[in-house]
Amino acid sequence: MKQFFAVLIALIVLFAAPVYIGWKHFAPHPGTAAAKAQKYHCPMHPTYISDRPGDCPICGMRLVPMTEETHEKATGAGDGVITLDARERGILGIQTAPVEMRRLTKTFEVSGRVDRTRKWVDVPLHVHERPYVQRGIQIAIRVPGAEQALEGTVNLIDQIPDALMHTYNVRIRVADAGDVLRPFGVVSAVFKADLGEGLAVPEAAVFPTGTEHIVFVEKSEGVFEPRPVTVSDRADGWYRVETGLAAGEKVVTNGNFLVGSESRLKSAIKEQSHDHAS
């Protein structure tokens, strides 16, 4: 009986060995294309991955086959940093501009009313606008129907705001009005305040989240890092930067919503994966 079992085991080994060796030789190795099922992702939202072709549920764009590079980017760390190749940056319309020191100005327009003598214009100035207006500054007065604006000078500013409207009355002296102004007519006063020089970024680069302001800094070509910043004056197309950036750094100036959405999506996916693993 022992001899019978020994012969049986020898036969099993004899026939199984070639099968095993053949499988080891011809089976796809890990890391080869045949060993991995083809995956598809959205060019607009690279972190959305599917095992079959179709449309992206986020934006409706057609899914495209993934490469090793796009797979690594989509499964990267969930720190909000994203990497976009030249094609993806083109689809998203990503453009950048340097952080720079520049002269800042703030222009705003307020409706006012002409007095009966046609020599003065009274303008209600909101509390948040008051710091930008000083007595003696020159402003422009736009009159409906007139081709050119009139010149005016701020002559008087109320020291105490109106208790009901919370506005300061500003009286503007208008020179050489002629017959352009009409008693009690409505005009527009255009104020332009000089805010001095400061570190600034384009207004479109600042991405408000509701609790803070974020900019996307290009750390290297195609690599974008979300970074909180502190901004103060909102000038004509610019923000004054107080903290968070240095002159010469590059920030995204358009496509921020798309970049922000992709970044948040990536972090959310990684956070969910971490929760499931734990």
213/268 same-domain check: yes
- For residues 93 and 211, state if they share a domain: yes
Cβ-proximal residues to 141 (8 Å cutoff; 6+ apart), any chain? 121, 149, 150, 151, 152, 172, 174, 187, 188, 189, 190
**33, part of any domain:** no
Residue keyed to tokens 């720079």: 100
Question: Do 96 and 162 reside in the same domain of the chain?
Answer: no
Q: Are 253 and 172 found together in one domain?
A: no
- Which of 139, 173, 194 terminates a domain? The answer is 194
Sign, CA torsion 151/154/156/158: positive
CATH code of residue 152: 2.40.30.170
Q: How far apart are CA 267 and CA 278, in angstroms?
A: 17
**144 shares a domain with 157:** yes
For residue 14, name the pLDDT band (cuts at 50, 70, 90). Answer: very low
Residue 210 pLDDT class (50, 70, 90 cuts): confident
**pLDDT (0 to 100) of residue 267:** 58
pLDDT at 276 over 60: no
**Domain limits at 244?**
82-102+197-277
Number of domains present in the structure of the chain: 3
257 and 130 housed in the same domain: no
Asked if residue 31 belongs to a domain, the reply is no
Residue 15 is assigned to a structural domain of this protein: no
Distance from C-alpha of 167 to C-alpha of 125, rounded to nearest angstrom: 5
pLDDT of amino acid 73: 54
Domain identity same for 249 and 266: yes
Q: Where is pLDDT greater, at 12 or 100? A: 100
pTM over 0.85: no
- Do the beta carbons of residue 187 and residue 113 sit within 8 Å? yes
User: pLDDT per residue over 21-70, tens digit each?
Assistant: 344 444 445 544 444 578 887 766 666 788 888 887 766 778 888 876 55
Minimum mean pLDDT range among 3-7, 82-86, 120-124, 229-233: 3-7
Whether residue 185 is found in the same domain as residue 204: no
Domain termination site, one of 166, 194, 222: 194
Residue 10: is its pLDDT beyond 70? no
Measured CA angle at 207 (ends 78, 225), to 5 deg: 35
pLDDT at 196: 93
**Which residues are within 8 A (CB) of 89 and not within 5 positions of it... i.e. 6 or more apart?**
222
Does residue 215 sit within a domain? yes
Residue 18 lies in a domain: no
Same domain, 94 and 211: yes
Same domain? For 92 and 205 the reply is: yes
Same domain, 98 and 201: yes
- In a domain? residue 164: yes
Retrieve residue 204's tokens.
């479109």
Q: Is residue 239 part of a domain?
A: yes
- pLDDT grade for 207, boundaries at 50, 70 and 90: confident
Last residue of a domain, one of 172, 194, 216: 194
Residues 6+ apart with CB under 8 A from 50: 39, 40, 41, 63
What whole-number distance in Å separates Cα of residue 181 and Cα of residue 121?
10
pLDDT tens-digit map of 215-259: 999 999 988 888 999 999 899 999 999 999 999 999 999 866 556
Q: Are 121 and 189 in contact (CB under 8 A)?
A: yes
In a domain, 226, yes or no: yes
Average pLDDT over residues 205-218: 89
Looking at the structure, do residues 149 and 206 belong to the same domain, yes or no? no
Specify the higher pLDDT residue, 194 or 12.
Answer: 194
User: Exposed e or buried b for every residue in 117-134, given b needs 16+ CB within 10 A?
Assistant: ebebbebbbeeebeebbe
Q: Using the predicted structure, report yes or no on whether residue 195 has a pLDDT greater than 50.
A: yes
Give the residue from 123, 87, 94, 89 showing the smallest Cα distance to 108: 123
Q: What is the pLDDT of residues 58-103, one digit of tens each?
A: 667 788 888 765 555 554 444 578 888 888 788 778 899 999 999 9
